[in-house]
Every structure is written in C-alpha cells, then in structure tokens.
Amino acid sequence: MTSEIRQRAGFEPIAPGLRTPPADQLSPPQSEDEEVDVAVPSRGGKKAATNKLHPDDDIPDDYVTRTLEREPALPPIQWKNLLSEIQWVSAIVLTTTPLLAVYGLCTTKMTWPTAIWSLIYYFWTGLGITAGYHRLWAHRSYNASKPLQYILALWGSGAVQGSIHWWARGHRAHHRYTDTDLDPYGAHFGLLWSHLGWMIVKPRRKPGVADISDLRRNSVIKFQHKFYLPLIFIMGFGFPTVVAGLGWGDWRGGFFYAGVARLVFVHHSTFCVNSLAHYLGEATFDNKMTPRDHFITALVTVGEGYHNFHHQFPMDYRNAVQWYQYDPTKWFISAMQAVGLASHLKVFPDNEVRKGRVAMQLQKLHAEQAALTWPKHSNNLPVISWDDYQEEAKTRPLMVIHGFIHDVSAFIAEHPGGEHLLKAKIGKDATTAFNGGIYDHSNAAHNLLAGMRVGVLDGGYRLASDELAEAERLRTAANEAVDKAVPENARPPKAQFSAPQDELDLRGVDARATKYTTPGETYLIRQVGELKANVRDHQGRVGKW
C-alpha cells in the first residue's frame, strides 16, 4: 500500500485511547459564529477545502455511493500484509492489558473492599462512556451541567477508549452509515471486525463525514482532548490504585483489579455494543439494519443492549423503554436529573415507538401467515349446481356448508363428533347443523372446514329474506292479476301472507349465520346463543315463534 493510497483513503490511525488527532486538527472555533475549515468530496471527486461551519453544507445527494466509488478502500487484510497494516499502539494496549490482568489476578490476593471498589469503578468508567461519550456527547440526548460533564469526561478517560472528540465523531459516522463501508465499525464485516479488528488493523476507509461542530465548541471536550494522555494514566490506573491504596492499603490489588482487570472488562463491554449488539437478539423496531435488542448485551454493556431501539431513536436518552429492561445508564441520567445535574432528557414520542414495534410484529405475522396453507379463494373454485352436487356426492363424501362444497373424505373418520354425524349430511347442506343447530363448532373447526373446499354451490344458500321477498312478489302479482281480471264486487278475499315482514324481528341476528334456507329446509336463526333452538318450518314459511 502506498502512502498515496493511504492519503486518498483519508487514512488516519485511530487507535482507541492512545492516538488522538494532532492538536491543530482539533483546535475548535472559539465561538458559535466561527467557521470550521473542513473538507468534503467535491462533485469532481477531489477534496475541496471550504470555509463552512458544517461539513454537510454542500454535501452531494449521492455522497455515500460517490464516496464509495471514488475513494478506493485499502487492500483487504491478508497474512502477507498483516504486519504492515497493524495499528501497533491499539494492538499493544488491547493485547497487553488482558495479559497483565490475568497475571495480576493469578498473583494478587483479592480482598472484598478491592472487589467492591473494582465493580464500582467499572460502573463509573462504563457510565463515562455510556452516559457521557455516547448518550450525552455523541447523541446530545440530554443536557448536562458542567460539573457532571467534567465527572463524565474523567470517568470516560478512565475507560481508555480515545478522547470524547475522536470517539463521538466515529460514533456519529457509525450511526449515519450503519452497515455501509463508511461505518468505521460496520457489523457487515463480521463479529470479529466490529468487536476488535477495526482497532487492531488500520481502517480500510476513512469513516463517512459527520458533523461534530457542536463538539468542537465544548470546553470540557477541549480540556479532555488536550490532556488526554495524562488523563488516561491518571484515571485508568493511578486513581483506582490510589483509592484502594490509601483507602484500605491494597495498592497492588487496586492496580490489578480496579485498574487493569476493570479496564479490560470496560473495553470489551463497550466493544460488545459494536459487535454483539449487532448480532444477538430481536429487531424490535426495524429490521432494515443489523442492530438488535437483547438483555444479555444490555447486561454486559451497562444498559446499551437495546440497540435496535437505540438506532431507531438515537436521540432518546433511554436504550430500554420497558420498566423491566436493564438500563443503568438511563437510571443514572434520570438520577442526575433528579439532583439537578442533568436536564432536557429527550424522549421519542411513545406513539412512534409503539408504531415501530407494531410494524415489526405485523411483518412477523405476515411472514407466519405466508408460511401457512390457506383455503382456496372462491374465485378459484368451480361453481356447481345443486343437481350436479347431488350427483357428485354419490361418488364421494361431499357436504355443503356456508355455500361451499367440501370434500370430507380425509376427515370423516377423524371427526371428533363421530363419523355417523358427517355421513348423515353427505349430499346435504349442513350449515345449520355445523353452526350450532347440532354443534356450534370452534374457530379451529371452521378453519379446518374451509381447507376442505372443492367447489362453490351455484347461488349459494338462499336467504330467508329472499324467500320472503319472493313470496311477497308472488302475492302482489296474484292480487294485481285478480284486480285486473275480476270486477271489484266479485273479487275473492286477497291472498294473505302468513307472516308479514314487519312481524319478523331480525335484531340481534348474527351476521355469520343469519336466516337462510336450503332446498327443502328453512331456518331462522335469531342469535348464535339460541342456535340450538332453531325453528324449522316444514311448510317453507318463516315467522315468529
């Protein structure tokens, strides 16, 4: 790899913790009005230095594809170029600290005060990253008072993961270009790469452009960046050692347990957010990208494990939205608000959060639905006359229910109500019997039944109201005929329908199985609950009972 390619790719070693950009690259504007000189790829693909506050000011619409096309990635890591591509400072830090921790744990007696202090300091330095670097500075999800900012900056320094400036810039790029090659720790390159690889070897591309103009103006960030190197030694190793040494005389334990071992845990805790949180768990709100929600990730990352939520709503100060989910960072920020050190905690509207969740639930349901076998639509079934149905039913067990013709041959022997009941209805319409006339079947039975459809009965089953209308039409026609043919004084009494329509009380009739007739049988079903009390009028009339 030539230094020219390296420059073109915008390569810049970004070892966590130890390597920070030169001070001149960082010197931020002193006021909000001051402009920052930043470079973005111009239309011609060359970098153009422009005086502007935000790097996005004239960003092309096709920035991502343009950058990926025009700024070639460095060659892939192979055995032959491995040594020259290693970021030695990061690699040494990330390999020696675990070794040193193992040595310390094997050679140093653990005392209770040191164990408790190590745990406390793990959470402090972890919170420096999660509540400070991440939710405060990278995402501006709440406002922190100056004292709280200094505390978080110091705790974060003790986590030895780079300065706030460097860390938050990379993280903003990670969110903006998630799962693309402009993501500095893209999960699409694999678990190992997103966990460690991206720090151990030189990045193959410069992370995509991200606006950090706000961070450049922050005095706490400037202070931390300026004194970053001494701060990591003081807060990473000195402070935890001194507390244990002066506190209860355990200098060695303080160094190895609260210093080194604790640091290794904090490192991999944060690295899990980039790796595990993009692999393990549920896509609760969106599955377009890799972030996932999982309790285990939350447990090992001081609450950053509800990562799918976080990528959907990055400006929300919470990662966990349910009360039972583990998010000590959220609890810490709320506590800081309670004591007046934090304010303006941002919360995404609950309605939108729930929409995201429901959208994913529906997507899953649709997938599950698509995997099931569903009954044929009536449009895809042959329409068969009653007479043809009769003929066909002599050759195989067919049964009409709900206007569909069903072939029950595969089920007849399995019927929980007995074979005899089904046999008795072959070649007939069993709608009423099926819907409560004899037994009010479950949904499952309805579903099962629908799967046995083989045809549609021509005209379906006739509604009693059709029968009534037809009877009324015939009666009126007969009366009119009589009126025309016979003088008024010689007319016989007019035909009277035995059950005039207004006597029919159809309120409360269930739409699923209203009143209907089948050839030779007429039913009026008033309510599902009364189905067993159907009245059958053998003379084909429908009326009150």
**Which of 52/415 has CB closer to ligand HEM?**
415
The reply to whether 405 sits near ligand HEM by the rule CB under 6 A is no
- Subset of 383-402 contacting ligand HEM (CB under 6 A): 399
Q: Which residue has its beta carbon closest to ligand HEM?
A: 417
Cα maximum dimension of the chain:
128
Give Cα separations from 36 to 14, 108, 344, 525 (angstroms): 21, 51, 27, 80
Contact window for ligand HEM (CB under 6 A) among 32-40, 150-158, 301-309, 429-437: 429-437
For the chain, the 3-state helix, strand and coil shares in percent, each to the nearest 5, are 50, 10, 40
User: How near is the Cβ of 283 to ligand HEM at its closest, in Å?
Assistant: 36
CA angle at residue 411 from 406 to 412, to 5 degrees?
A: 90
Closest CA to 185 of 522, 427, 196: 196
Q: Rounded to an integer, what distance in angstroms lies between the CA atom of residue 265 and that of residue 500?
A: 86
- Partners of 86 in the β-ladder: 201
User: How near is the Cβ of 527 to ligand HEM at its closest, in Å?
Assistant: 19
Q: Mark residue 150 as left, alpha or beta (left: phi above 0; alpha: psi -120 to 50; beta: remaining).
A: alpha
User: How near is the Cβ of 455 to ligand HEM at its closest, in Å?
Assistant: 14
Figure out which of the listed residues 121, 257, 332, 434 binds ligand HEM, where binding follows CB under 6 A.
Answer: 434
Q: Show the binding pattern over residues 154-173: x = contacts ligand HEM (CB under 6 A), - = does not.
A: --------------------
User: How near is the Cβ of 387 to ligand HEM at its closest, in Å?
Assistant: 21
Figure out which of the listed residues 100, 360, 438, 454 binds ligand HEM, where binding follows CB under 6 A.
Answer: 438
The reply to whether 221 sits near ligand HEM by the rule CB under 6 A is no
Count residues near ligand HEM (CB under 6 A). 22
User: How near is the Cβ of 509 to ligand HEM at its closest, in Å?
Assistant: 22
**Which of 103/374 has CB closer to ligand HEM?**
374
**Residue 211 near residue 54 (C-beta atoms within 8 A):** yes
Give Cα separations from 21 to 25, 94, 225, 482 (angstroms): 6, 20, 9, 108
Give Cα separations from 146 to 132, 334, 368, 486 (angstroms): 12, 17, 52, 107
E strand or H helix at 144, and its extent?
Answer: strand 143-144
The reply to whether 416 sits near ligand HEM by the rule CB under 6 A is yes
**Which of 271/516 has CB closer to ligand HEM?**
516
Provide the total of helices (H) and of strands (E) in the chain, helices listed first: 25, 12
Closest CA to 506 of 460, 465, 453: 465
- List, in sequence order, every beta strand (DSSP E) within 317-388: 342-343, 383-384
**Which of 331/411 has CB closer to ligand HEM?**
411
**Which of 262/441 has CB closer to ligand HEM?**
441
User: How near is the Cβ of 324 to ligand HEM at its closest, in Å?
Assistant: 37
**Residue 386 near residue 519 (C-beta atoms within 8 A):** yes
Q: Rounded to an integer, what distance in angstroms lies between the CA atom of residue 491 and that of residue 476?
A: 15
Q: Rounded to an integer, what distance in angstroms lies between the CA atom of residue 431 and that of residue 461?
A: 9
**Which of 268/415 has CB closer to ligand HEM?**
415
**Which of 438/454 has CB closer to ligand HEM?**
438
The reply to whether 449 sits near ligand HEM by the rule CB under 6 A is yes
The reply to whether 406 sits near ligand HEM by the rule CB under 6 A is yes
User: How near is the Cβ of 443 to ligand HEM at its closest, in Å?
Assistant: 8
Q: Rounded to an integer, what distance in angstroms lies between the CA atom of residue 122 and that of residue 101?
A: 14
Contact window for ligand HEM (CB under 6 A) among 93-101, 381-389, 435-443, 473-481: 435-443
**Which of 326/404 has CB closer to ligand HEM?**
404
**Which of 213/435 has CB closer to ligand HEM?**
435
**What are the structure tokens assigned to 501, written together?**
């329509």
The reply to whether 513 sits near ligand HEM by the rule CB under 6 A is no
The reply to whether 427 sits near ligand HEM by the rule CB under 6 A is no
Q: Rounded to an integer, what distance in angstroms lies between the CA atom of residue 14 and that of residue 24?
A: 16
- Establish how many alpha carbons lie within 13 A of residue 204's alpha carbon, considering only the half-sphere containing its beta carbon: 21
The reply to whether 321 sits near ligand HEM by the rule CB under 6 A is no
Contact window for ligand HEM (CB under 6 A) among 97-105, 271-279, 313-321, 406-414: 406-414
The reply to whether 367 sits near ligand HEM by the rule CB under 6 A is no
User: How near is the Cβ of 416 to ligand HEM at its closest, in Å?
Assistant: 4
User: How near is the Cβ of 408 to ligand HEM at its closest, in Å?
Assistant: 4
The reply to whether 439 sits near ligand HEM by the rule CB under 6 A is yes
- Rounded to the nearest angstrom, the gap between the alpha carbon of residue 307 and the centroid of all alpha carbons in its chain is 10
Footprint on this chain of ligand HEM (rule: CB under 6 A): 399, 406, 408, 411, 415-417, 421-422, 425, 430, 433-434, 438-439, 441-442, 444-445, 448-449, 452
